[in-house]
Amino acid sequence: MLRSSSAPSGKFVYVLLQRTLNLALMLALSLGSAGQATMAQAAPPAQEVTNVSTRYHFSIRIPPDPICVGRDYDIAVIPLADKSGNYQGQKIKFDTKGLANITIGALVKNKSIGTLSPSKQVSGFAWAIAHALESTMESDNPGEALFKFHARKAGETDLYFEALINGKYVGPVVPIKVVNCKYKLTMNYLMRQSSHGTTGLLFGHLDTLLEGNGEVYQGSGVLDSDRTEAMAPCSFSSAGFDSPATITGKLTGSPDDQQLKVAVDYAPGESSATITCPIVGARTTTTTEDPTNWLAANATFLGIGGAQSFPIDFAQWFGRLIITVTPVEGSTS
């Protein structure tokens, strides 16, 4: 979700206006004296722009969906002043700038859905402090005011931001939706063995959803593994094996640096394989395979998800495991 009512920067608009007015003036002079060389003229003075008015409004930046229960989000509010007027019968905008030192109030219509803090913030205050501590710091938004939204439970509500700017009231209403987020977890691994004329592959896949309360997430699935081998002059066949897995995820860290720690508990699976060789014929064996022996059981991701890769080195089998976690939107109930 990204909502912004901001206009182009004042510098950009001013330069664009100057170029447009210069072009119009040069065209008019050339038409008035066809065939004659004309000297370059400056843009019309600012006094020629009449009926100048100022509009005050907010640019509000809200994080993209999903907004998850139990998490904290930064919301930036920038008070803006747009100047407009008339030039030669045309209405133009020629200045937009962020305003510092504006006191902005903030509240949530339904506080059971979430809260905003602080309840009041002065635009440009955080920027001024940072600027004072680091003199080389540059910012495009010196008039920015930062608020923290804490999502408490799933549902929809409205955020209110209000201020008096030069005696004029500005109070936009911004809708927000909080959901019970889930994480989609995917595991893929591939192992290879090659020795004494025998080549084998073992690969597996798991997909599951982790659901929780914003702090602890749980899910379960089946790690489906398949195996194939080439061992001339014998032939090999196997249906692979299924290993049930239970996954637990815990969000840790600060709101600005959240991490999702994932733990996987693998259960052994039964595997059956048949080897057929000349003279001796076919032989079928059944074994119990435990992925805990070769797959990583713990991984740490950013709160927004990501991917982790782990090497595999087990009993002359080598390969790699990749675990991917992606947040997905859940329900609002």
Is the pTM value of this prediction over 0.85?
no
CA neighbor of 105 nearest in space, from 77, 131, 126? 77
The whole-number average pLDDT for the span 282-296 is 89
User: Would you list the domain boundaries of the chain?
Assistant: 10-179, 182-328
Q: Tell me how far CA of residue 47 lies from CA of 10, 13, 82, 88, 134, in angstroms.
A: 18, 17, 18, 12, 39
**Residue 104 to residue 121: CA distance in whole angstroms:** 5
Q: What band does 300 get if pLDDT is binned at 50, 70 and 90?
A: very high
Pick the CATH number of 182-328 from 2.120.10, 2.60.40, 3.30.530, 2.40.160: 2.40.160
The whole-number average pLDDT for the span 280-294 is 87
Burial class (CB in 10 A: 0-12, 13-18, 19+), 166: exposed
- pLDDT for res 331: 58
Fold of 10-179: Immunoglobulin-like (2.60.40)
Q: Tell me how far CA of residue 285 lies from CA of 117, 188, 238, 325, in angstroms.
A: 64, 26, 10, 36
Is the Cβ–Cβ distance between 147 and 116 less than 8 Å?
yes
- Taking the alpha carbons at both ends of the chain, their separation in whole angstroms is 19
Tokens of 18: 């100057």
- pLDDT for res 6: 39
pLDDT digits (tens, 9 = 90+) for 74-99: 999 999 999 888 887 788 887 788 89
The whole-number average pLDDT for the span 176-186 is 89
For the chain, helix, strand, coil in percent to 5 are 10, 60, 30
Q: In the predicted model, is pLDDT for residue 129 greater than 70?
A: no
Specify the pairing of strand 235-238 against strand 241-254. unpaired
Q: Tell me how far CA of residue 105 lies from CA of 22, 117, 145, 166, in angstroms.
A: 43, 10, 10, 16
Q: Tell me how far CA of residue 208 lies from CA of 103, 150, 249, in angstroms.
A: 47, 27, 12
Place of tokens 């997905």: 328
Q: In the predicted model, is pLDDT for residue 24 greater than 50?
A: no
Place of tokens 């014929």: 281
Between residues 53 and 107, the one the model is more confident about: 107
pLDDT digits (tens, 9 = 90+) for 37-78: 333 333 345 457 788 889 999 999 998 887 888 788 999 999
Tokens of 136: 């080389």
Q: In residues, how long is the chain? A: 333
Place of tokens 């402090």: 129
SS3 258: strand
